[in-house]
A and B are shown apart, each in its own frame.
Chain A
Amino acid sequence: MSKEISELNLPDDVKYTDDHEWARLEGENLKIGITDYAQDQLGEIVFVEMPEVGDTLERKEEFGSLESVKAVSEMYMPIGGEIVSINEELGDAPELVNEDPYGKGWIIEIKPGDPTELDSLVNKDAYLEMLKGLE
């Protein structure tokens, strides 16, 4: 475990947050998950605690938690909005977050409350710079 920064998978088609989450616009909705860096740091994920569909949460509000064998970490809303779906598959297969963080390991889908908040998210290069600062 613990990849070098150069080994991280950081796709171009998503935006990033400083809480190590990614967000991808799909139509009008936003799909949200955690980055390759976050899953690598947490290690083997054994449980994903998710919000309920229909909940409305603010930007930076906690929407769930990830439990690895070592720790439990909270996840925060990249932007405010209503939860329109959660990844039910993670109930039986939380390891999908480790195996495919940007694909099958997505966590929630939201309907953005205020689309201008999307501007607060950063692109791959800015996120990469931030990670380098953490080294």
Chain B
Amino acid sequence: MRYLPHTSEDMASMLQKVGVESLDALFSTIPEDCRRKDDLNLPEPMSEWELNDHMNTLAGTMAVSPEYKVFLGAGSYDHYIPEAIKHLLMRSEVYTAYTPYQPEISQGTLQTIYEYQTLITRLLGMEVANASMYDGASSLAEALLMAIRITRRKKVAVSNAIHPLYRRVVQTYFAPTGYEIVEIPYLANGRTDLSALDNLEELAAVAVQSPNFFGCIEDLKEIGEKVHTAKKTLFVTCFTEPLAYGLLKSPGSLGADIVCGEGQSLGVSRSFGGPGLGIFASLNKYVRNMPGRLIGQTVDKDGKRGFVLTLATREQHIRREKATSNICSNQGLCATAATMYMASLGGTGFRELAGLNRDKAEYLKGELKKVGFTISFDSPTFNEFVAESPAGFETTYKKLLKRKIVAGLSLAPYYPELDDHYLFCVTETSSKEDMDALVKEVTS
């Protein structure tokens, strides 16, 4: 984006043109208590050379793959991104495209989103997907609000094995609403404890994540059947690692009503945590309560195929405070990357890659067991798992970091009861040598 500074002469001539004396007078319609009174406390500007040095120093404080071997997932995954995608995304007609506000003139953008929606519905086994949302966490919050709109109930149940930060975002969304969130505990095997679910008839939705935050694969079929013993209650499933569905049965085929999650794994770089890609899909019968934008396919007056923005009458820019959601945008660039990624891999490649992730994670799991780790939960996992460390691992962790190996995520800050437990992630980017180096350091 171009930066166009205003000189004081520019400002003076503009102020004169609109007939006000000063900048303060121009802003006088903004309520007093919304205006900043003092100047921003900013450091002196830097020259280009100084700025480059500064950024390099900052970058040096980070542990970044591939320089570091990062066995860290927990919602953000290190996957190879095909060069073709990086190249295509750098085409200006792709990276300058924003969510379409004059939609029908941008047929290319609409077709891309339409193909994105189609691929997502196939991956998740759902009937309809929207044009994407901000990230996995806000998708989950929106899914729960959608369930409340559909059922007109005021309470949702959320598994404690859902990503802790996702649950915090849900709490933030819910705080001003008065709707209630009930937490469902997890079992000794790392899966959600369904026996704790009672009064299903009061609930708008039951939400679980699979694979869950511990990497454990939930029995979605069983949970769905239990949830659907209540006539109206909706089964919401979420995910942080959609690559898992290359191996696992899709949530849609196991009874999910709304499926949501993070799409960063699908060709979007980790970028220190963002931007992400909020994936959102639902059954067709709920489409009018779905948040976000939706692209449809139609024919023009000559019978030629074309793409349109559909159901926009329910969006905020038209329906104002009565809109289904206050999201009025989508993650255009990340959704485009995900579309290219899924199309590049194809169904077969996607399955093979998922298999590789799972097999490598199983290798590390086995090797860690040999050197004194205990696998905390005995449920099946995909590319992440929790292991309880042998005594003294904290020191080893720091030693490993010096050797440019990030040995998982300590769970203690999120689950105090899981002191000394670490969440490990292994993707296709981790080599056998990397894993062996990690294990060797533990034993030395």
Contacts and interface: CB of A to CB of B under 8 A. Distances in A.
Interface of A: 47, 49, 67-72, 74
8 contacts: A47-B288, A49-B288, A67-B313, A67-B314, A70-B313, A72-B313, A72-B319, A72-B322
Contacts of B314: 67, 72
Contacts of B319: 71-72
A67 B314 CA distance: 9
B62 interface: no
Contacts of B313: 67-72
Nearest to B323: A72
B23 interface: no
Contacts, number: 17
A50 to B, nearest CB: 12
Interface in B269-321: 288, 313-314, 318-319
Closest 6 pairs between A and B when the two form their complex, measured CB to CB: A72-B313, A72-B319, A71-B313, A67-B313, A72-B314, A71-B318
Main secondary structure of the interface of A (DSSP, over half): strand
Interface string B26-45: 00000000000000000000
Contacts of A70: 313
Contacts of B318: 71-72
A36 to B, nearest CB: 22
Nearest to B232: A52
Contacts of A67: 288, 313-314
Interface string B318-338: 110010000000000000000
A74 B323 CA distance: 12
A12 to B, nearest CB: 34
A109 B318 CA distance: 30
A60 B166 CA distance: 38
Interface size class of chain B, counting residues whose CB lies under 8 Å from the partner chain:
under 10
B300 to A, nearest CB: 16
A71 B323 CA distance: 11
A47 B314 CA distance: 12
A86 to B, nearest CB: 15
A49 B322 CA distance: 14
Contacts of B322: 72, 74
Contacts of A49: 288
Nearest to A52: B152
Nearest to B314: A72
Which interface residue of A49, A67, A72, A74 has the most chain B CB atoms within 10 A? A72
Contacts of A69: 313
B22 to A, nearest CB: 42
Nearest to A46: B313
A51 to B, nearest CB: 10
Nearest to A65: B322
Contacts of A47: 288
A31 B318 CA distance: 30
B124 to A, nearest CB: 25
Nearest to A68: B313
Contacts of A72: 313-314, 318-319, 322
A133 B430 CA distance: 74
A57 B319 CA distance: 23
Interface in B75-126: none
Interface string B108-147: 0000000000000000000000000000000000000000
B76 to A, nearest CB: 38
A72 B317 CA distance: 12
A111 to B, nearest CB: 20
A70 B288 CA distance: 15
A72 B322 CA distance: 9
A55 to B, nearest CB: 9
A32 to B, nearest CB: 20
A102 B75 CA distance: 55
A17 to B, nearest CB: 19
A70 B319 CA distance: 10
Given A49-B288, A72-B322, 11 more contacts: A47-B288, A67-B288, A67-B314, A68-B313, A69-B313, A70-B313, A71-B318, A72-B313, A72-B318, A72-B319, A74-B322
A47 B288 CA distance: 9
**Counting chain A CB atoms within 10 Å of each CB, which of B313, B314, B318 scores highest?**
B313
A68 B284 CA distance: 19
Nearest to B324: A72
A56 to B, nearest CB: 13
A128 to B, nearest CB: 29
Nearest to A69: B313
A68 B319 CA distance: 12
A94 to B, nearest CB: 12
Interface in B22-70: none
A46 to B, nearest CB: 9
A49 B313 CA distance: 13
Contacts of A68: 313
A38 B319 CA distance: 18
A74 B313 CA distance: 12
Nearest to A51: B152
A74 B319 CA distance: 11
Contacts of A74: 322
A68 B311 CA distance: 10
Nearest to A62: B322
